[in-house]
Chains A and B, each alone.
Chain A
Amino acid sequence: MHRLQTLLLPRLKSCAALLALIGLTGVARAQEAAETVNRWGLGEPASDYGYRFTDLFWLITILVGVSFVLVLILIAIPVIRDRARPGHKASFDHGSSLHDKQVTTVISVITFLVLDAWVLVIAMQDLREAYWAYPDGDDEGVYEVQVLAQQWSWNFRAAGADGEFGTADDILSNSELVVPVGRPVSFQMTSKDVIHALFLPEMRMKKDVNPGDLNKAWFQANRSGDFTILCAELCGFAHYQMHGKLTVLEQDTFNEWEQEASKLALAAFDSEDTESQWAWDWEQ
Chain B
Amino acid sequence: MRRPTLYVLLTACVAIAALSSFRGDEIVSEPSLAAEASLAPEEVEASSDEQAEVANDEPRHFRAPHNVNLFITEDDAVRAPGEDWFEQQAELFPGRYSYDESLADGEGGWVDKDGKYELRYDEEEEEAFYWRVLTKEELTIGRQDYVQFCASCHGFEGDGYGRSAQHLRPGPRNFQRAMFKFSKVTQALPSDEALKTLIRNGLDGTPMLAWDLSDQQLDGIIQYIKTLSEPETGWRDLFTEIGDVVEVGENPWVGKESEAVTAGEKVYHKNDCYACHPGYLAPPDLAALREAPEGTTFRDNLSYPAIKDSDYTVLDHQLKILPPDFTWHQLRAGTTPLDLFKTIAAGIKGAAMPQWKGAFPDEDIWAVAYYVHHLVTEYKDQPAKRSAFMNALRRDQ
Given the interface contacts A264-B325, A267-B322, does A238 sit within 8 Å of B167 by beta carbon? no
- Inter-chain contact A238/B322, CB cutoff 8 Å: no
At the interface with chain A, which of B109-117, B204-212, B238-246? B204-212
Interface membership of B194, Cβ < 8 A: no
- Inter-chain contact B168/A267, CB cutoff 8 Å: no
State how many angstroms separate the Cβ of B293 from the closest Cβ of chain A: 29
Interface membership of A220, Cβ < 8 A: no
State how many angstroms separate the Cβ of A103 from the closest Cβ of chain B: 21
At the interface with chain A, which of B87-95, B304-312, B365-373? B304-312
Given the interface contacts A193-B164, A236-B152, A267-B305, does A275 sit within 8 Å of B322 by beta carbon? no
**Residues of the A chain whose Cβ atoms lie less than 8 Å from the Cβ of B319:** 270, 273
Interface membership of A249, Cβ < 8 A: yes
| Alpha-carbon separation in the docked complex, A152 to B314 (Å) | 20
* Tally of chain B residues near chain A (CB < 8 A): 36
Query: Which listed residue, B163, B166, B328, B383, touches A249 by the CB 8 Å rule?
Result: B383
Interface membership of A167, Cβ < 8 A: no
Chain A binding surface, main DSSP class = mixed
| Alpha-carbon separation in the docked complex, A270 to B170 (Å) | 12
- Inter-chain contact B304/A267, CB cutoff 8 Å: yes
| Alpha-carbon separation in the docked complex, A155 to B168 (Å) | 8
Interface membership of A207, Cβ < 8 A: no
- Inter-chain contact A275/B315, CB cutoff 8 Å: yes
In the complex, chain B residues 359-384 whose Cβ is within 8 Å of any chain A Cβ = 381, 383-384
- Inter-chain contact A152/B167, CB cutoff 8 Å: no
Query: Which listed residue, A192, A267, A268, touches B163 by the CB 8 Å rule?
Result: A192
| Alpha-carbon separation in the docked complex, A268 to B310 (Å) | 13
**Nearest residue, chain B, Cβ from A192:** B164
Interface membership of B148, Cβ < 8 A: yes
Q: Convert A162-178 into 0s and 1s, putting 1 for each residue whose CB lies closer than 8 angstroms to a CB of B.
A: 00000000001011100
Chain B binding surface, main DSSP class = loop
Q: Convert B150-182 into 0s and 1s, putting 1 for each residue whose CB lies closer than 8 angstroms to a CB of A.
A: 001100000000011011110000000000000
Given the interface contacts A237-B148, A267-B307, A267-B322, does A253 sit within 8 Å of B383 by beta carbon? yes
Q: Convert B315-338 into 0s and 1s, putting 1 for each residue whose CB lies closer than 8 angstroms to a CB of A.
A: 101011010010011100000000
| Alpha-carbon separation in the docked complex, A276 to B317 (Å) | 11
Interface membership of B32, Cβ < 8 A: no
Q: Convert B135-154 into 0s and 1s, putting 1 for each residue whose CB lies closer than 8 angstroms to a CB of A.
A: 00000000000001100110
| Alpha-carbon separation in the docked complex, A148 to B165 (Å) | 12
- Inter-chain contact A276/B153, CB cutoff 8 Å: no
In the complex, chain A residues 117-163 whose Cβ is within 8 Å of any chain B Cβ = 148, 150-153, 155
State how many angstroms separate the Cβ of B336 from the closest Cβ of chain A: 20
- Inter-chain contact A275/B387, CB cutoff 8 Å: no
At the interface with chain B, which of A15-23, A81-89, A255-263? A255-263
| Alpha-carbon separation in the docked complex, A247 to B330 (Å) | 15
In the complex, chain A residues 210-248 whose Cβ is within 8 Å of any chain B Cβ = 236-238, 241, 247
Given the interface contacts A260-B387, A263-B304, A267-B322, does A150 sit within 8 Å of B148 by beta carbon? no
**Residues of the A chain whose Cβ atoms lie less than 8 Å from the Cβ of B207:** 150-153, 174-175
**Residues of the A chain whose Cβ atoms lie less than 8 Å from the Cβ of B387:** 256-257, 260
Q: Convert B284-317 into 0s and 1s, putting 1 for each residue whose CB lies closer than 8 angstroms to a CB of A.
A: 0000000000000000010011110000001101
Query: Which listed residue, A155, A193, A275, A278, touches B317 by the CB 8 Å rule?
Result: A275
**Residues of the A chain whose Cβ atoms lie less than 8 Å from the Cβ of B306:** 267
**Residues of the B chain whose Cβ atoms lie less than 8 Å from the Cβ of A276:** 167-169
| Alpha-carbon separation in the docked complex, A272 to B317 (Å) | 8
- Inter-chain contact A150/B305, CB cutoff 8 Å: no
**Nearest residue, chain B, Cβ from A238:** B209
**Residues of the A chain whose Cβ atoms lie less than 8 Å from the Cβ of B166:** 192, 275, 278
**Residues of the B chain whose Cβ atoms lie less than 8 Å from the Cβ of A153:** 206-207, 209
State how many angstroms separate the Cβ of A253 from the closest Cβ of chain B: 5
**Residues of the A chain whose Cβ atoms lie less than 8 Å from the Cβ of B325:** 264
State how many angstroms separate the Cβ of B332 from the closest Cβ of chain A: 11
State how many angstroms separate the Cβ of A58 from the closest Cβ of chain B: 35
Q: State the B residues within 8 Å of A (CB).
A: 148-149, 152-153, 163-164, 166-169, 205-207, 209-211, 301, 304-307, 314-315, 317, 319-320, 322, 325, 328-330, 381, 383-384, 387, 390
3 tightest A-B CB contacts, nearest first: A268-B322, A153-B207, A278-B167
23 contacting pairs across A/B (C-beta < 8 A): A150-B164, A151-B153, A151-B207, A152-B209, A153-B207, A172-B169, A193-B164, A247-B381, A249-B383, A253-B384, A256-B387, A260-B387, A260-B390, A263-B304, A264-B328, A267-B301, A267-B307, A268-B307, A268-B322, A270-B319, A275-B167, A275-B314, A278-B166
